[in-house]
Amino acid sequence: MSSLVTLEEFAGYLKRDLDEFDAYTAKLLVDGAAEAVTEYCGWHIAPILTETVSVDGTGTRIQTLPTMNLVELDSVDENGLTLDVARIDWSANGVMEKRSGSGWTARRRGIIAGITHGFEVTPAWVVTLICAMAGRAYVTPLGIVQESSGGESITYTGTRSGAAPPATVTLLPIDRRMLDRIRVPMGL
């Protein structure tokens, strides 16, 4: 998987140079955060790619594709028949509608579309969000979120047994809310 964020961007976010050991850990965390983001959003986000996608037909006048930045609709097959893309209206958020007003098939994997989609570069706010996700895991590698000295008290994240979990990247509720604007609608 090509990452949405470079190690240089992550090092800049942290405001520090990464030695060989730190760079290895940072790459794992950045790639994990980027993967969590793309899985949540339901598409690759960046860069612009041309690919063929197969989706379930909606059975309605509106058909959606798994993208939130459609650059070009190259081809559409419905139930094995090639449609004239000049007779299909489409929007950047992956919504298609036949100009004839007729509905789309309801058949599973009934729509195969050739599409060009994605952002040329990762939007800056997505870079920042991925860096924040990876940064949270990077600065708390043992899962420690609270530490005291005199009374010897340590609090770990995500565990009830007291054992420290490995550093993990997680989508917080606020991260999800931010990503919802580029998330493919559920059901695709």
- Band of residue 144 on the pLDDT scale cut at 50, 70, 90: low
CA 79/CA 137 separation, integer angstroms:
46
Return the pLDDT at 1: 46
Q: Compute the C-alpha angle 72/2/126, nearest 5°.
A: 75
Average pLDDT over residues 14-26: 91
Q: Residue 89's Cα: distance from chain center in Å?
A: 26
Sign of CA dihedral 45, 49, 55, 60: positive
Return the pLDDT at 162: 42
- Band of residue 9 on the pLDDT scale cut at 50, 70, 90: very high
Return the pLDDT at 149: 61
Q: pTM of the predicted model, to two decimals?
A: 0.83
Q: Residue 146's Cα: distance from chain center in Å?
A: 30
Place of tokens 């991260």: 175
Average pLDDT over residues 78-100: 97
- Band of residue 49 on the pLDDT scale cut at 50, 70, 90: very high
Residues 81-90: tens digit of each pLDDT: 999 999 999 9
Residues 161-171: tens digit of each pLDDT: 444 345 578 89
Place of tokens 């994240």: 157
CA 25/CA 168 separation, integer angstroms:
11
